[in-house]
Amino acid sequence: MKQHTGNWPGKTVENTSGICEYAGKHFLLVDIPGTYSIMSHSEEEEIARDYICFGNPDATVVVVDATCLERNLNLVYQIMEITPKIIVCVNLLDEAKKKGIQVDLKELQKQLGVPVVGTIARKKKTLKRLIEIVQKVCTGEIKPQPKQITYIPVIENSIAILNSKLQNIIPKEKNYLLRWISLKIIDGEPKILSSIQQNLKIKIYEIVEKEMIEIEEILRKQDIYSKTKIDKIITSIVLTAEKVSEQVISYKKHSYQERDRKIDKILTSKKFGIPIMLLFLGFILWLTIVGANYPSSLLSSFFEWGENQLLLAFEWIHTPTWITGIILDGIYRTVTWVVSVMLPPMAIFFPIFTLLEDLGVLPRIAFNLDKYFKKACSSGKQALTMCMGLGCNAAGVVGCRIIDSPRGKLIGILTNSFMPCNGRFPFLITIATIFIGSFFTGIFSSIASTLAVLVIIILGIVLTLGVSKILSKTILKGFPSSFILELPPYRKPQVGKILIRSIFDRTLFVLRKSH
C-alpha cells in the first residue's frame, strides 16, 4: 500500500487496500480504520463494523497492542461475535518486552479459540508467519472456533427467544450473524439496526415486535431498562477480557514505563505543556529559516548560471527574442525562483514535522490543547484535526470524520483553514524573512523571522478556538462529543523512511503543485 500510518489514533478514517502475493496467490488486504470498539459511536467504528459484517472478507486480522492487551481484547470479542474467520495479531512485542510485559501467545490462542500470531511489524520476517496463517484461514486449512461471550442469564434467554424467530429469516450465508443481530436488537442501537436492515433487506422491528414485548417484560422484572442494557452487555465483555488477560500476561519490574511517564509529566504539564509546545514549534521554524538560507542561495546562483548558459545557447542558434523571453524570462525564471525559494525550507520542515509525528509528540500537543477546545464548546478530537492541518489542510478536513457529532465535524471543517498548512510555510517563511528579518542583521534576522511565523500560527490557533466558540454558541449549538485520546509510547523514529516519505510524498508533491 505504501501508506503512512501515524503514531496516533484517528490518523486513518477510511478503507485503503493493497495487493500481497504469497504462495503463488494474490491477496487483497483491506485496511479498515483503527478503533477501540464497533459499538457504533463514531464514523470510523461504523465503517469498520459494516465492512467486517457485510463486506464478506475471507479472513479478518485484528491487530492488538501487546502493551495494552486487555483493552484491545474488548474489540477482539466484539468482532468474534460477527465473524468466525478471525486471526489475532499481537503486535509491538518489542515494546512490551521493554516494559517488562510477557504475553503467552499459546495460552491466548487456547482461550480465544482462534489463531494468534505475535509480530514486530518493523521486522518483516515476523510478518511471514502472519501471512501464512491468513492463507490457511482463507483456504479453509485452519478453521477458527471463536469462543463466544457468555452474558448474564436474562440476556442469554432473550437472545435465545430472538434466535428462534430469526433463524429462518436471516440468509443462510449470514447465519453466523444471528446471535449478534439478536444482541443488537436487545441493545436497541438505532444506527446498527438501520445498517442491518439496509444490508440484509429485512424489517427487523416488524418481525420481532411480539418477541420484544416479551423480552422487555423479562428485563424489567430484573430491573434492566433501556439505559442499563448496554452496560450489562459491555460489563460481560470487559470482565471476560480481564479474566483472559490475567491468565496470559505476566509482568516484570522495569523502568521503561517510568521513563515515558517522567517525560509526559513535563510535556503534558499544566504549567509547562503549552510553553514547551511553542518552543518546539519556534525551534523548528528557526531551524528551517536558518537552514534554508544557504541552500537557497546556492540554488539561486546555480539557476542564474544555468540561465546565462541557456541565453548563450539561444544566441548561438539565433533564436528570436520573443521566444527567448517566453522560455527564459517567463518559464525558466519563474520555475527556478519558486524552486530556490520553496524547496530548501520544505526539505527541512517536513522531515522534522514527520519526525515529531513518529516520536509520538503530536498526540501530546493534542492532549495539551484538549481543555481549550472543551472551553470552546467543541470536540477534543478537533485538536487532532487541527494538528493534522499543520501538515495539510486537506488531510485535516478529511480527518474531521473522526468527530462523532455532525455539528462537531462542521466546526472542525470550517475552522481548519485557519491553520497554515505545509504548502504555506515556505511562503510564510519567505515573506517573514524579506519583510521582518530584513530589519535585523546576523542571527537576530532569523530569530525575528521565526517569531513572525510563530505569531501567525498562534493567531491561527486563537482564531480556530474563537470561531469554534462563536459557532458553538450560535448557528451550531449542541453538546461537545467525548473521545479517547491515547498517548502512544515514545518510539525510536525510522529516519530513513522519514526522509524518503517527507521528501517524495510531501516536499516534491507540494513543489509540483506550486507550479
Per-residue pLDDT reduced to its tens digit, 65-92: 998 899 899 999 999 998 899 999 999 8
The mean of the pLDDT values for the chain is 82
In a domain? residue 249: no
Last residue of a domain, one of 111, 139, 167: 139
- Please determine, for residue 129, whether its predicted confidence score (pLDDT) is greater than 80: yes
Nearest to 353 by CA among 430, 291, 264, 283: 283
Residue 134: per-residue pLDDT: 93
What radius of gyration do the chain's Cα atoms show?
28
Per-residue pLDDT reduced to its tens digit, 2-14: 555 544 444 455 6
Average pLDDT on 186-208 reads 80
Are residues 288 and 200 part of one domain? no
Average pLDDT on 267-290 reads 82
Residues 6+ apart with CB under 8 A from 425: 288, 345, 346, 349, 453
In a domain? residue 318: yes
Are residues 434 and 369 part of one domain? yes
In a domain? residue 235: no
Are residues 459 and 388 part of one domain? yes
Inter-residue contact 424 to 391 (CB < 8 Å): no
- Please determine, for residue 405, whether its predicted confidence score (pLDDT) is greater than 80: no
Average pLDDT on 47-75 reads 88
Average pLDDT on 170-179 reads 81
Are residues 496 and 361 part of one domain? yes
Residues 6+ apart with CB under 8 A from 19: 26, 27, 28, 29
Write phi, then psi, for 18 (nearest 5 degrees).
-155, 160
**132 pLDDT tier (thresholds 50, 70, 90):** very high
Are residues 426 and 329 part of one domain? yes
Nearest to 386 by CA among 403, 287, 502: 403
In a domain? residue 3: no
Residue 483: per-residue pLDDT: 64
Residue 162 to residues 54, 166, 173: CA-CA distances in angstroms? Answer: 21, 6, 18
Are residues 289 and 437 part of one domain? yes
Residue 366: per-residue pLDDT: 77
The CATH number of whichever domain residue 51 belongs to comes to 3.40.50.300
Q: Which residues pair with 103 in a beta bridge?
A: 249
In a domain? residue 96: yes
3-state secondary structure of 370: helix
Average pLDDT on 398-426 reads 80
Are residues 325 and 177 part of one domain? no
Bigger pLDDT: 226 vs 508: 226
Q: Tell me, rounded to whole angstroms, the distance of Cα 12 from its chain centroid.
A: 4
In a domain? residue 241: no
Per-residue pLDDT reduced to its tens digit, 4-44: 554 444 445 566 788 888 888 889 888 887 777 777 666 66
0.85 exceeded by the pTM?
A: no
In a domain? residue 240: no
3-state secondary structure of 65: strand
For the chain, the domain total comes to 3
Distance, in Å, from the CA atom of 337 to the CA atom of 281, rounded to the nearest integer, reads 27
What is the end-to-end Cα distance of the chain in Å, rounded?
28
In terms of residue numbers, what domain contains 179? 153-223
Distance, in Å, from the CA atom of 430 to the CA atom of 97, rounded to the nearest integer, reads 47
Q: Which residues pair with 89 in a beta bridge?
A: 63, 117
Distance, in Å, from the CA atom of 289 to the CA atom of 432, rounded to the nearest integer, reads 9
Inter-residue contact 45 to 34 (CB < 8 Å): no
Are residues 499 and 400 part of one domain? yes
The amino acid sitting at 300 is S
Nearest to 67 by CA among 37, 34, 98, 108: 98
Last residue of a domain, one of 105, 139, 173: 139
Last residue of a domain, one of 223, 245, 262: 223
In a domain? residue 515: no
Are residues 481 and 386 part of one domain? yes
Q: Which residues of 12-25 are buried (b: 16+ CB within 10 A; e: fewer)?
A: bbeeeeeeeeeeee
**130 pLDDT tier (thresholds 50, 70, 90):** very high
Are residues 215 and 90 part of one domain? no
